[in-house]
Amino acid sequence: MTEKLAILWPEIFLFIATCLVMITGQWPSRAIRAFTPWICAVALFAAFGAAMSSPGSGSAHGGMFPEIVPYAKMLIAAVGMLILLLLSGTVDRELEAEVDAGKPFSSIRSNRGEFYAFFMFSLTGLMLTASADDLIWLFLALELTSLPTYIMVAISTERKKSLEAAVKYFFLGALGAAIFLYGFALIYGATGSTNLSEIATVFATQTANGGISSLGMIGLLIAIIGIAFKIAAVPMHFYTPDVYQGAASPVAAMLAFVPKTAGFLALMFILGTVGWNDGTAGGGHLPVAIEATLWIMAALTMTVGNILALLQTSVKRILAYSSIAHSGYMLVGLIAGPGIIGGPFYQNGLAAVLFYLLTYGIMTVGVFAVLASLEHRNGDEADDMDDIRGLCKSHPVLGWTLVICTLSMLGFPPLLGFLGKVGLFTSGIAAGQYALIVILGINSAIAACYYLRLVAAAYIDDKGKVSSPVYASPFATRKIAGVVSAFFVLFLLVFAQPMINGAYNASKYVPAVAGEVEHNDHTDRHTQSSPAKADEDVALTHKALID
């Protein structure tokens, strides 16, 4: 229990903040209301610190991913902080304007408390996903991550389109949840355990005795397809453009990072139970059926995302399709797997995925921050391609942020996105997925078309011919979020080594060994899994040897 608590401190800090924020967001006094985001910021700092000093998950994953917890939670807290900067002023704008004009504050109309509380709930769920060691835990953590986001989409603007977006998102989200839940049920049926490392042991035993049972295999495939909703991969990607367009830009930035990270962590854990060691010679790969499914998913996700992005005129829809395409790229890393145990970073697909999640989070917050910092006279957010024309001249800071972050998303060589993509390429090559790497290369070239369109619109085009001009939004923190992201994109190149090392350590994967698992013996299981007991045993053996 205590060792589990030791890795849960970041979640506890976030949860305390969630409870506080719900109260302060409704407070009649304006100063306390305005203090609400600061509570979130303090909690995120505390969570970051707790994650930094957190032990690896150790026994929590039964040794499957022993080092993932600190890196994943630091990543979540850091990008969460950027998104928090971006969220300011999303809700309650009209209400606060009325209060300024002298009307009394009505807490019933205020959404601020819920909005920040749901944001913190979602991040809590995301961190819990990172510490999941059990199917039940994983299911609950994934739901805690996504349920608040549905409401956040609905209340993010006063417009009807955000309601429509919320409903689309919610219904497809519920469908995705039902699908992966059914997959989890079948996995439980095939293995008799909900503990991930025990499931891994059972699957390893089954593999050694002629292959994973068909029930388990079907369960895994259904679970993967269900989780594809969270990462916006192909069979479940339809909602993405509509939802990103309907939600306010800050919330869209959050949707691009939070559920995607949850989905990739969940996929890592699910795939970790079968392991990347089917077939021996040099590294090995996933079981054939799963690899084929992921392969098709990755190829289609990249291609569909990039080709449909070419046809869009709305910047948010372009970003939505590019988010789909980026999921496809990251799936390549998942297919490649951890490579040889102890192999270098560039052969390790999981490390590449973990690093790419960080780079993608930073870049995407940067681009959405630019959109969130611009608005029309009537309060509508900037969304159309015309809105960003000539941005480098009219708003130089925002314009250059957009150019830098977009070039980074394209994978332009000296920028952060390039570093992320190189890992995916090299790990794919090391795993022998040449066809997939060719598809990845072609897709990167297609992506260049629309990313360069964005860059050209901001840098080259003239503002003169645009009919409805855009203005800088009054919320300075949004601009700060963009500038900080652009700063990271440029300067993490120099300082990327600690983060690459972090991702590499976090991706440490210990495959399960075939053996018997005791079912239906809970008391026994608890004593067995206690490391203190195991240490005692070791000490006793040592003593016996010395004697």
Partner 1 sequence: MMHAFETLQLAQLAFPAEMNNSVLAPYLFVSAAMFCIGLIGFMTRKNMIIMFLCTELMFQAAGLSLIAFGRHHLGSDGQTFVIFVLTVAAAEAAMALALVVLLFRHRESLSASAWKELNG
Residues that bind partner 1 (CB under 8 A): 135-136, 139-140, 143, 147, 150-151, 154, 160-161, 163-168, 170-171, 174-175, 177-179, 181-182, 184-186, 188-189, 192-194, 241-242, 245-246, 312-314, 317, 519-520, 522
- 309 in Cβ contact with 445 (< 8 Å): no
483 CB contacts (<8 Å, ≥6 apart)?
397, 401
In the structure encoding, which two tokens stand for residue 499, read together?
């983060």
SS3 state at 484? helix
Among residues 452, 446, 443, the alpha carbon closest in space to that of 301 is found at: 443
Count of CB atoms situated within 10 Å of the CB of 346: 17
C-beta of 387: minimal distance to partner 1 in Å?
15
Instruction: Please state the closest distance from residue 110 (CB atom) to partner 1, in A.
Output: 17
Output 194 or 427, the one with its CB closest to partner 1.
Answer: 194
Strand, coil or helix: what is 111? coil
Angle, CA of 80, 85 and 90, to the nearest 5°: 105
Residue with smaller CB distance to partner 1, 320 or 512: 320
| 269 three-class SS | helix
DSSP 444-476: HHHHHHHHHHHHHHHHTS-STT-SS--EE-S-H
Least distance (Å) from partner 1 to the CB of residue 152? 12
CA–CA dist 84, 377 (Å, integer): 25
The Cα 143–Cα 139 span in angstroms is: 6
Closest approach of Cβ 165 to partner 1, in Å?
Answer: 6
Q: 143 or 278, CB closer to partner 1?
A: 143
Helix (H, G, I), strand (E, B) or coil at 507: coil
Dist. CA 436–CA 440, nearest whole Å:
6
For every residue of 68-127, DSSP letters joined together read HHHHHHHHHHHHHHHHHHHHTTSSSHHHHHHHHTTPPP-TTT--HHHHHHHHHHHHHHHH
Q: Considering just the CA atoms, what is the radius of gyration of the chain in Å?
A: 23
Tell which phi-psi region holds residue 337, choosing left (phi > 0), alpha (psi between -120 and 50) or beta. left
CB nearer to partner 1: pick between 186 and 404 = 186
Residue with smaller CB distance to partner 1, 303 or 312: 312
Beta bridge partners of 374: 472
**Smallest gap, in angstroms, from Cβ of residue 311 to partner 1?**
8
Which one, 171 or 434, has the nearer CB to partner 1?
Answer: 171
Looking at beta carbons only, is 377 or 522 nearer to partner 1? Answer: 522
Nearer to partner 1, 161 or 393 (CB): 161
| Nearest-approach distance from CB 269 to partner 1, in angstroms | 16
C-beta of 312 vs 485, nearer to partner 1: 312
Contact, 301 vs 238, CB < 8 A? no
The least CB distance from residue 58 to partner 1, in Å, is 22
Cα gap 270→188, rounded to integer Å: 12
Shortest distance in whole angstroms from residue 13 CB to partner 1? 23
Phi, psi for 381 (deg, rounded to 5):
-75, 155
> Which CB atom, from 195 or from 364, has the smaller least distance to partner 1?
195
DSSP state of 134: B
SS3 299: helix
Between 206 and 347, CB nearer to partner 1: 206
Q: How far is the CB of 522 from partner 1 (least distance, A)?
A: 6
| Shortest distance in whole angstroms from residue 395 CB to partner 1 | 26
Between 189 and 515, CB nearer to partner 1: 189
Number of other CB atoms surrounding residue 19 within 10 Å: 11
CB of 62 to partner 1, least distance (A): 15
d(CA 203, CA 222): 16
* Tally: H helices and E strands in the chain: 21, 2
CB of 241 to partner 1, least distance (A): 7
What does the block give as tokens for 492?
């993490």
